Amino acid sequence: MSDEKPGHLTTALALAVVVFLQVPVIVVVLAAFSRTAYLTIPPQGLTFAWFGKVLSDPDYLDAIRLSLILAVGSTVLSLGLGIAAAYALFRRLVPASEAITSFLMAPLVFPSVVIGVALLQYYSLVGLRGSLAGLLVAHVVITVPYIVRAALASLSGLDMSVEEAARVLGADGVTAFRLVTLPLIKPGLVAGSLFAFITSLDNVPVTIFLLGARQQTLPVLIFTSVEHGVDPSVAAISTLLIAATGLALVLAERWTGFHRFV
């Protein structure tokens, strides 16, 4: 009996923590279906009107479009740069690889506000503030570390003799990496890409400093909307984001089993 009690206690504690963490999500989802023009929990009636309002609002649609452009673009660029950097660092193809790795991981350590202010001052000097290219570069800066870390973790668990065998059999370096190494580290890259995409899509502290007068990303629009008053449309767009993120995670897990690299 004494051996079972700690197990039950641990399970109950873990369940309580999970429920506590999910309460804000449940509140937001329930508020999105309220008939009232203000947030109420429990919702007063059920309606999908707020979802229709969000998906027909030009401001929200433009913000969603810009956010997706930045998230997809930064993830693709980060994949290319991150894979190349991780492979070179892992194979010690560049000097001072440990120092370079620490430098690439720096955006994960520095506060996002500090990065945003620094980029704002630099962009003001070179004339990139408010440009799509400037925003994309900023998002690449904060997403590359996720790709590099995931790729390094995948490569560290890989038997590199497989790639060497491919070279012995006649494949050049690029072909051996593309056909042998890359498929083996794919689950880790999928995990890193998801984190990079979500980080870019959800970023406010860096983005808000670099947006032009007529630019709005979805997180920044939600942030400013909350400042001026909260209505169920904010809960509706948040619910859509939660559903999209959850669906993406489920599909990626079924496709690659990326949980081993998280």
Fold adopted by 50-261: MetI-like fold (1.10.3720)
What digits encode the pLDDT tens for the residues 240-262? Answer: 888 888 887 787 777 766 555 55
pTM for the structure as a whole:
0.82
Radius of gyration of the chain (CA): 22
User: In this structure, how many other beta carbons lie within 10 angstroms of the beta carbon of residue 256?
Assistant: 17
Is 109's pLDDT higher than 80?
yes
pLDDT of the residue at 1: 44
Q: Residues 214, 195, 115, 80: what is their CA dihedral angle, to the nearest 10 degrees?
A: -90
- Per cent of the chain over pLDDT 90 is 13
Which residues neighbour 182 within 8 Å (Cβ) at sequence distance 6 or greater? Answer: 83
pLDDT of the residue at 72: 93
Is 4's pLDDT higher than 60?
no
pLDDT of the residue at 79: 92
What digits encode the pLDDT tens for the residues 120-163? Answer: 888 888 888 888 888 999 999 999 999 999 888 888 877 777 77
CA distance 142 to 27: 30
